[in-house]
Structures are given as structure tokens and as C-alpha cells.
Amino acid sequence: MRLKVGLLGGGSWGTTVASVVSRNAPISLWARDAETVESINTARENRKYLPGIALPPALRATNDIADVVARADVLVMGVPSHSFRGVLEEARHHLRPWVPVISLTKGLELSSGKRMTELIEEVLPGHPVGVLTGPNLAREIMTGQAAASVLSMEDEIVVRALQPVFHSGLFRVYTNTDLLGCELGGVLKNIIAIAVGMGDGLGAGDNTRSALMTRGLAEITRLGVAMGGRAETFAGASPAWAI
């Protein structure tokens, strides 16, 4: 039996992941914006976030969150960190027990400093949680360029069972049971990416960029290990430098 997937979030990355998943499993995408839903269903395009990119016929969108969540065997969260908790609260009333919940979101909740998987565990206790993270640019994936990502969950059996849902063609998905390390890698690299961008804006060269990224990765690794992650995790795809 093929798992039914519900994806919450109609931005560029949520739409991209939904398009990839549609090759492997039935999927419904929820977006709050009615124009985005209409654009996906009628024009086969997310004009707001991915203009000019054709979407697969199997991908359908709706603004009925209850319908998407109630049907889901796997729930994927593709909403920004600032609205993550609110959408989880909406989904909570419709989600069946034990349905895995996978986060696509890189960031921390501003008020609490919690990771997105910690929010899932708080709002939806008892559900297996995971993250999909990697050096992925939505438009490149949608135009067929090769990319790699990491699906991380603490339960190795569950993560391997879900890997085929996301793995497709030139979008290669690896697995990792270091959930904390993978999620932190995706969060902490943004700090270094901002520093690199500031260097570019100030006219710094490739030497400066390389130094910032090299030393930044060392700092991320030390912090991640101190917080409970595995050092080798930060040498893989989870830091996601391309995002």
C-alpha cells in the first residue's frame, strides 16, 4: 500500500518537495493563500513562488487543512518557523495517531528557541518526528538538476521506510538517525551564510569566503557536538550551504 502524504505549505520549497513526492505517492498540498491554490490546480504553476516552472499533474492543492491532514499517512511541514506552531495547532485536531511528521523548515522558534521537531513533539506528542534537510535550491531541483538531501529520524526502521517517499530520480535522499545534529546543521549554517553574504557585500574575495565557511563549519561542529549531535553529521549534507 502506498502511503498518502499531506504537505502543509505552498512556498517554493514546499511546492518543490510536493512535486518530488508526487512521483512516489499520492499527495495533497495545503496552502493558506487561495490564489496559490488556484494557480497550482488550474495553471499547473505556483506563480507566486516558482513562476514559469511547470508542476506535475499528480500534484493537487487545497486550502482545506482538515481534509489534507485527516487523509495523511505522513504529514510534511513546509511552513516558515514563525508560523510553524500555529499551523501545528490547526493540524492537531485532524491528525490520526502515530502519523509521522516531517519538518522541511530551517530555523528556531523566536520566543522559545526551540527547534521545529521540538515543537512537533510538544504540540503532537506520540508522533514520530523527522527533518528533511540539505543543500537544496528549489528552482534547480524543479528544472531537473541533481541534488542530495538527508532524511533524519531517530528510529532507523521508520526513517528507512519513509526514504522512498522522498527519494526520486536526481533527487537523492540519504538517511541519518542523528536528528538533533541534522536539524542543527540546517539552522546554524544560516549564521555563517549571513556572514559570507556580508563579506560579498563589502567586496571580500574568495579567500575570505573560504575562510568564513571553513572556520564556520568548525564552530558549527563544536557547538552541535556540545548540544548532543554527532561530529560526522556536520561533515555531511545537513549543513546545507546552498540554501
Rounded to an integer, what distance in angstroms lies between the CA atom of residue 173 and that of residue 216?
A: 25
Could you tell me which residues come within 8 angstroms of residue 189 by beta carbon, excluding any fewer than 6 positions away? 216, 220, 239, 240, 241, 243
Q: Which amino acid is at 48?
A: K
The grid coordinates of residue 204 equal 571580500
Rounded to an integer, what distance in angstroms lies between the CA atom of residue 187 and that of residue 80?
A: 13
Reply yes or no on whether 189 is catalytic: yes
Catalytically annotated residue among 4, 106, 114, 189 = 189
Q: Which amino acid is at 191?
A: I
Strand partners, 152: 131, 176
Rounded to an integer, what distance in angstroms lies between the CA atom of residue 202 and that of residue 126?
A: 48
> What are the residue numbers of the active site?
189
